[in-house]
Amino acid sequence: MRIVIAGGHGQIALRLERLLAARGDEVAGIIRKPEQADELRQLGAEPIVLDLESASVEEVAERLAGADAAVFAAGAGPGSGAERKETVDKAAAILFADAAVRAGVRRFVVVSSMGADPAHEGDEVFDVYLRAKGEADAYVRGLDALDWTILRPGRLTDDAGTGLVRLEAHTGRGPIPRDDVAAVLAELVDTPATAGLTLELISGPAPVSVAVKSVAGN
């Protein structure tokens, strides 16, 4: 498969690129800074330098042409303000989804956040973030041209992955290593029977492949 990842230099994306390249997929990561390109190449991924905050739908669709799947893993990051939650976490996600439709890429996986909700209230930056993610998720859900899956991990950690997770429509809150999020994403990309599902993810008892198979087709 050829898989294009938005936010290609993010902590989850870098792990995902390594996994996909190692299993023989052709993987490309969209990055904003040219100096990040070498790190992607070292993982076996093709760097695509493109700023999703300023690119047009046509420009993004060109980069997605020929892909079998697209993964939105971009984010404004923890140090950013409310404005970039709107331009990256919401607007860039919508742009990437529209570009996938235009490019004819059906399989579309979103890295969202537990608690994402377009009706979330509050004015703190994290409130704006959860609302932006929720609005982006709602937009993607409305696109019939995409076989979408939305993944909402719990509290992200840098602990070593265990390969054991809980993946359900509602898991309740809990931690999850970024390693395990990447492993679940790699399985989801390859499991189109999870299309149409919004799934929460925390550490749990089930091996990743078993957890994904258990929700597929639900």
Give the pLDDT confidence of 7-38 residue by residue, as tens digits. Answer: 999 999 999 999 999 999 999 999 999 999 99
Indicate the range of 103-107, 122-126, 197-201 predicted with least confidence: 122-126
pLDDT of residue 218: 81
Distances in Å between the Cα of 37 and the Cα atoms of 22, 47, 59, 61, 72 are: 18, 5, 19, 20, 18
For the chain, how many structural domains are there in total? 1
Indicate which CATH number applies to the domain containing 63.
3.40.50.720
This prediction's pTM: 0.96
pLDDT of residue 65: 98
Dihedral sign for Cα 26, 197, 207, 115, please.
Answer: positive
Q: Are 137 and 169 in contact (CB under 8 A)?
A: no
pLDDT of residue 157: 97
Confidence class of residue 54 from pLDDT cuts 50, 70 and 90? very high
Whole domain around residue 13: which residue ranges? 2-216
Burial call 61-79: b when 16+ CB within 10 Å, e when fewer = bebbeebebbbbbbbbeee
Q: Mean pLDDT over all residues of the chain?
A: 96
